[in-house]
């Protein structure tokens, strides 16, 4: 039974609901890619499906637009898969459980994938339109994979079949804002070898840092809220001062570009240590953190509880190196933009910490609109992790998207917005990464703009896609295509 069937625009929400029923997390895009290929095949539309699962679907221009310049409509098919601890959804097998409330669409206990499922839904609704119902130039609809883990699909895509120089990226979440520039970024994956020893004189405890708001590290990083991995480093350092504490495992975060909301460490406490002092310290730090993050993370809390018995603990040296890495590696906003008020220029997010075998892995999403600062930041990470005996590998490096002062597309979109809504949209740059930079580097003379309907709390289980905004920007998208004759 359809959950979104009664919503308008009906054709857009029809496809959005179908997309949500197909598992399509980053790195798991074959099924959604095949769905898009079958969509094109069933309608007799020419398409290209590459080895990475990227899809390009072509549609001729409608009557009167046959000889207009082609337009590229672009979004990505993968979503960030985050869920609440008590949610039993298996992202590799299950579709999302959609709901409608107070004017928005959400998914029960998980991310919604409005980023960027709404772009796919808009594109499919346009491609499915018949008899010139939506006037448009020749279309080249590009739906990429693995945007959320480093813009990998855009990086792998062969753009030679594309003839368009006008590029509509529908991957923004703030109605009334047109994006014209973004930061570049890279994922830095650090591996810190650790050693274990057998020791019977320790009692196991589990420490949990939770209740953190999290969010997209390119959008919410400027709020400077808590990062559960960094919080855990602080707590472990404090416990280590109270007794000969040893780490057993430390794990937190699911995506390098999502600010982690929960981190769990299992530790060994000497059986003759004053455990009540340790518990008192954890309780005290919980109150301190609530005060420090009262604005951004009011629900932050620390939990300490008895863990399962084990005699395998990290060596003292490995424990100290792990704590040093969690405490000393940089995190958060490092520099604000000098010319654009309120814009983050350089940042990084320790999105993942995980213990695997005899190593602790730390994954960072590094962003900057200045390439030299991005390189300097990864060099800093490499220097420190190397001193600790670890290694760093860079993945998914993508360029910044530079501002084009002579964008005709931007001017058309501003005029169309004013005509439709009697509101002049804001023209902004963004700290988050967008695929526009990669495409602009591959297609000479590309005129790019990014936009999209209102969404809140993307990359979290509180994600919302607003219905009225989706309807307005559906009309806006159709009007833009009509104006590009």
**Using CA atoms, how far apart are residues 387 and 335, in angstroms rounded to an integer?**
25
Ramachandran angles phi, psi of 475, nearest 5°? -65, -40
Give catalytic status of residue 174 as yes or no: no
Q: Catalytic one among 147, 174, 262, 373?
A: 147
Residue 255 burial by Cβ neighbours in a 10 Å radius (0-12, 13-18, 19+): buried
**Using CA atoms, how far apart are residues 140 and 162, in angstroms rounded to an integer?**
7
> H or E stretch including 117?
helix 114-127
Neighbour tally for 385: CB within 10 Å: 21
Q: Which 3 state secondary structure label does DSSP give 400?
A: coil
- Are 196 and 312 within 8 A, CB to CB? yes
> Which of 38, 28, 147 shows the shortest CA–CA distance to 94?
28
**Using CA atoms, how far apart are residues 151 and 142, in angstroms rounded to an integer?**
13
Give catalytic status of residue 147 as yes or no: yes
Do the strands 196-198 and 139-144 form a parallel or antiparallel pair, or are they unpaired? unpaired
The beta-strand segments (E) located in 138-259 are 139-144, 166-169, 177-182, 184-193, 196-198, 202-210, 215-216, 246-252, 258-259
- Are 367 and 183 within 8 A, CB to CB? yes
Do the strands 55-59 and 447-450 form a parallel or antiparallel pair, or are they unpaired? unpaired
Residue 1 burial by Cβ neighbours in a 10 Å radius (0-12, 13-18, 19+): exposed
**Using CA atoms, how far apart are residues 291 and 295, in angstroms rounded to an integer?**
9
Q: Catalytic one among 18, 78, 174, 373?
A: 78
- Catalytic (active-site) positions: 78, 147
């Amino acid at each position: 039974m359809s959950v979104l069937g009664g919503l308008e625009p009906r054709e857009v929400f029809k496809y959005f609901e179908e997309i949500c029923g197909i598992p399509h997390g980053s790195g798991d895009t074959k099924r959604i890619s095949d769905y898009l290929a079958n969509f094109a095949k069933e309608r007799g539309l020419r398409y290209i499906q590459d080895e990475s699962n990227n899809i390009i679907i072509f549609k001729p221009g409608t009557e009167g637009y046959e000889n207009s310049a082609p337009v590229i409509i672009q979004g990505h098919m993968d979503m960030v898969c985050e869920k609440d601890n008590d949610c039993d959804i298996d992202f590799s097998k299950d579709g999302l459980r959609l709901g409608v409330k107070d004017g928005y669409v959400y998914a029960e206990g998980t991310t919604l994938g409005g980023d960027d499922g709404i772009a796919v839904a808009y594109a499919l609704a346009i491609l499915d339109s018949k008899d010139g119902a939506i006037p448009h130039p020749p279309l080249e609809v590009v739906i990429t994979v693995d945007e959320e883990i480093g813009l990998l699909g855009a990086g792998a895509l062969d753009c030679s079949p594309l003839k368009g120089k006008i590029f509509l990226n529908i991957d923004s979440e703030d109605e009334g804002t047109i994006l014209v520039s973004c930061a570049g970024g890279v994922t830095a994956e650090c591996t810190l070898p650790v050693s274990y020893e057998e020791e019977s004189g320790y009692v196991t405890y589990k420490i949990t840092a939770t209740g953190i708001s999290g969010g997209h590290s390119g959008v919410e990083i400027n709020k400077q809220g808590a990062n559960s991995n960094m919080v855990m480093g602080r707590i472990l350092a404090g416990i280590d001062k109270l007794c000969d504490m040893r780490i057993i495992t430390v794990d937190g975060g699911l995506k390098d570009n999502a600010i982690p909301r929960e981190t769990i460490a299992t530790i060994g406490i000497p059986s003759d240590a004053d455990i009540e002092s340790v518990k008192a310290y954890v309780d005290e730090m919980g109150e301190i953190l609530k005060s420090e993050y009262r604005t951004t993370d009011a629900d932050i809390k620390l939990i300490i509880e008895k863990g399962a018995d084990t005699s395998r603990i990290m060596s003292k040296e490995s424990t100290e190196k792990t704590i040093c890495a969690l405490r000393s590696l940089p995190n958060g906003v490092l520099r604000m933009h000098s010319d654009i008020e309120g814009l983050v220029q350089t940042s990084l997010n320790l999105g993942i910490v995980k213990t695997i075998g005899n190593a602790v892995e730390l994954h960072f999403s590094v962003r900057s609109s200045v390439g030299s600062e991005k390189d300097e930041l990864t060099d800093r990470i490499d220097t420190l992790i190397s001193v600790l005996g670890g290694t760093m590998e860079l993945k998914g490096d993508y360029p910044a998207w530079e501002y084009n002062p002579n964008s005709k597309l931007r001017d058309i979109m501003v005029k169309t917005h004013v005509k439709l809504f009697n509101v002049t949209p804001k023209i902004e740059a963004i700290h988050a990464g967008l695929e526009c930079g990669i495409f602009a580097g591959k297609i000479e003379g590309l005129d790019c703009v990014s936009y999209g309907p209102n969404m809140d709390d993307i990359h979290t289980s509180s994600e919302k896609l607003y219905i009225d905004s989706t309807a307005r920007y559906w009309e806006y998208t159709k009007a833009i295509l009509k104006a590009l004759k």
